[in-house]
Amino acid sequence: MQTKNTVSRRTFLKVGAGVLGVAGLAACAAPRSAPAPSGSESAATQAPAQAPAAGKTKLRLMTWSGGEELELHKKAFAAFTDKNDIDLEVTAVPFAEYYTKLQTEAAGGAAADLINIGEAYTARWAASKVVLDMNPFIQSDATFNKDDFWPNVLENFSWQGGIYVLPKDYVTWGLFYNKTLFDEAGLSYPDETWDWSPEGANKYLEAARQLTKKEGDRITQYGTMVPSGWGYWVPRIKDVGGRYLDESRTKCLLNEPQNVQVFQWMSDLINKENVAPTAEAQGAGFGFNSGKVAMMPQGSYMVPSLLEAQFDWAIAPHPQGPKGRNSIMYSSGYGIYAQTKAQEAAWKLAVHMTREGSEILAVTGFSIPSRQSIANKPGLYLNEKTIPHNVQVFMDASKYMSLHEVTPTWTQEEQIINAEVSLLMNGEKTAQAALDAVVPQINALLAKSS
Amino acid sequence: MNTILTRRTGTAGVRHTARFSGWERQQEIWFYALISPWIVGFLMFTLGPMVASAIFSLTQWDLLTPAQWVGLANFAEMVADPLFWNALRVTIVYALGSVSLTIVVAMLVALLLNRNIRGQQFFRVIYYLPFVVSGVAVAWMWRIMYNPEFGVINLVLEFFGIQGPRWLASSAWALPSLIIMSVWGFGGNMVIFLAGLQGIPQHLYEAADIDGATGAAKFWHITLPLMTPAIFFALTTGLIGALQAFTTVYVMTSGGPGNATMVYGLYLYNNAFKFFKMGYASALAWVLFAIILIVTLLQFKLARQWVFYETEA
């Protein structure tokens, strides 16, 4: 989901669109607010929030959800549009290109009326005035009930006193495991007593070794997945008492000894222990969902795609590290485009997604609703379909989850880290060498931007 | 005879202007009216953005907040940016490798197809097809073929007892993998070479035969010299294209592992659309433009040394 190199026709349309966007900007200096010639056919497709003659309000919403996730969200939107006289158009863009698309649309003055935004990026879109401060809406809505949201969830989306995104849900991580494969190996299932450590014996590595199978010298089943993205390694370095940046967020700490040890361990699981598939093996079909890998540390958003799986599976808390247990927390919601002509309708849909909408998402185990009253509803997030898989783990993770320390240059930092981590994970570099190459680059970036 | 011709057209020309000036004006208006879609397109989508990007290259701009004038700072940053030099190196290696290999293969296949063999037309179509079928779908197919454990390339190598490399997953092999893959589109050059081969006058070979020349001698002294204009064309257009490589690299490796395949076009794209450094990306674009211009001018200059036009002889 996050490591896949998704490239579609859309990518290229988008590259084209981006280039044209710049071109359009450059060539026609006329402001977009200029009235479109009446009767022009193209005007209808350009203007995002034009009220057609029928009186139906038109809304456009942009999201990075795709596949089943998108269908799920469309169901949640439909619960709103069916009751209201609203014509909703959904633009879905893969996450890898999502903020690029948003940037070019916003630069062209034609972003969607409702924009899906994750907490890490709120400040950027608030500061550039792409999305509206929602406080006036919140204050004028007597039924809104701010206190119903989980502590801190609304704050994650605030910037300089304003609230710019209305969070619909949040996601935490756990350890998915394949019960069928554990049974075959005669092993007991993972539970909260499990531990992991970058050195010495631990239950997680032991199980991963026993769950790896060979036929001749070819591996036919792997013990675990090792995600290479930050959603995985950020909590792992916290597990050993490390952190990514120092308190002031001006210095990168990734090459400190305990962090280096964690990254080396991640690489060793793949290249030395051979209990986790390489990127190439993953490309050739070794994944948890195909039943060929016994364990997978991942976020709750994987649950819906597994509900129809051919094997029996469940979730355990991620094994505890030497200095505790941690999980990343992702949260997302909708911001209202500052130039929308349908503010009221956009606001209503955003609120809907914190209520009935989030219920529809929660039923599948996808994410936990941002409102406590909804998350705790009996039979909702915890229902007859999800309880057997122990999704309770994701709710319990609220005790040890945390946000990532994000700076304005995070996208570039991520690129620097991923380039070196790819050389670590394919076994060409040691963690020390890779992270020693990362740190000065990130420090230089942080120094320049502060 | 020449004089007569000149005088005739001359006279006709004079009479023509005198009697049909209104008609000619109309012609002129029609001319501009009919090419106006192109002119408008050129101004809006080529010249306009070019001028704009030249201005952006002197600013710091993220598309949303107002641009800041920074003068030549972007160009200074480039000199100190190791990733810029890396991108330049990767791109030059890719361009030289890809263009030379493609030309050699295209020439060999063209020579083979130039013989009078059965099913010649059929083979020409077969070899040309990959050139038409390209882009993302082909890149994905190659990605699968390059898979070290399950891809067809390493399976074939294994059959011959060779342990294949990890191709795209290895920083040493990723760039060579992309170069090898680029040869896939040799069909375009092949067609040009075939046309060139068929344009070589048969009597030159007949004369050489009478002198008792061997096949190799005929190739070196007749075929190759007369093919230099075609080779020059393939080299010039090929290098211009290869220096701007983007699509396949984006699909196959996204620049990795590490930055082993971070070609210039991709680095530029990342700066513009991932890091939103429009000013820096525009500066990168202009440096690439300058590089391509210099390389091309240099090629035209050097061409006088080695390109042979039959008509000049």
**Domains of chain A (ranges plus CATH)?**
50-171+330-402 (3.40.190.10), 174-329+404-449 (3.40.190.10)
pLDDT digits (tens, 9 = 90+) for A377-421: 988 999 998 999 999 999 999 899 988 877 778 888 999 999 999
Backbone angles phi, psi at A91, to 5 degrees: -105, 115
pLDDT digits (tens, 9 = 90+) for A112-162: 999 999 988 888 888 888 999 999 999 999 899 989 998 778 888 888 889
Tell me which amino acid residue A148 is.
D
Q: Give mean pLDDT, residues A156-180.
A: 92
The CA distance from A333 to A114, in Å, is 10
Q: Do B270 and A25 touch (CB under 8 A)?
A: no
**B254 contacts on A by Cβ (under 8 Å):** 5
Q: Could B43 and A5 be called an inter-chain contact, meaning their C-beta atoms sit closer than 8 Å?
A: no
- Tell which B residues from 20 to 59 touch A, by Cβ distance under 8 Å: 43-45, 48-49, 51-53
Q: What is the 3-state secondary structure (H, E, C) of B150-201?
A: CCHHHHHHHHCCCCCCCHHHCCCCHHHHHHHHHHHHCHHHHHHHHHHHHCCC
Q: What confidence score (pLDDT) does residue B311 get?
A: 67
Q: How many CA atoms lie within 13 A of B83 on its CB side?
A: 23
For B178-226, the pLDDT digits (tens) are 999 999 889 999 999 999 999 899 999 999 999 988 888 999 999 999 9
Least confident span in A52-66, A233-247, B87-101, B251-265: A52-66
Provide the CB-side half-sphere exposure for B282 (13 A, CA): 28
Band (A79; pLDDT cuts 50, 70, 90): very high
pLDDT tens-place string over residues B110-145: 998 888 878 888 888 888 888 888 778 888 899 999
pLDDT beyond 90 at A200 = no
pLDDT at B185: 87
Query: Of B48, B65, B147, which is closest to A27 when you measure between CB atoms?
Result: B48
Block residue for tokens 């539970």: A191
Among A18-32, A47-61, A171-185, the range scoring the smallest mean pLDDT is A18-32
A419 and B45 within 8 Å at the Cβ level: the answer is no
- Give the pLDDT confidence score for residue A124 in this predicted structure: 82
Nearest to B64 among A106, A412, A422 (CB): A106
Q: Count other C-beta atoms under 10 Å from residue A247's C-beta.
A: 8
Q: Which residue of A has its CA nearest to B46?
A: A23
pLDDT at res. A213: 95
**Distances in whole angstroms, Cα of residue A283 to Cα of each of A66, A375, A398, A423, B145:** 19, 36, 33, 17, 11
Whether B65 has its CB under 8 Å from any CB of chain A: the answer is yes
**For residue B283, what are its two tokens?**
């500066």
Which structural domains are found in chain B, ordered by start? 2-56 (no CATH), 73-312 (1.10.3720.10)
Is B148's Cβ below 8 Å from some Cβ in A?
yes
Cis-peptide, bond into residue B257, ω within 30° of zero:
yes
Enumerate residues 260 to 299 of chain B having a beta carbon within 8 A of any beta carbon in chain A.
262, 269-270, 272-276, 278
Max mean pLDDT range (A156-160, A328-332, A424-428): A424-428
CA–CA distances in Å: residue B208 to residues A311, B219, B221, B309: 75, 11, 9, 19
pLDDT score for B131? 84
Q: What pLDDT does residue A38 have?
A: 37
Average pLDDT, chain A: 86
**pLDDT for residue A313:** 97
Q: What is the ipTM of this complex?
A: 0.79
Positions of chain B with pLDDT under 50: 1-15
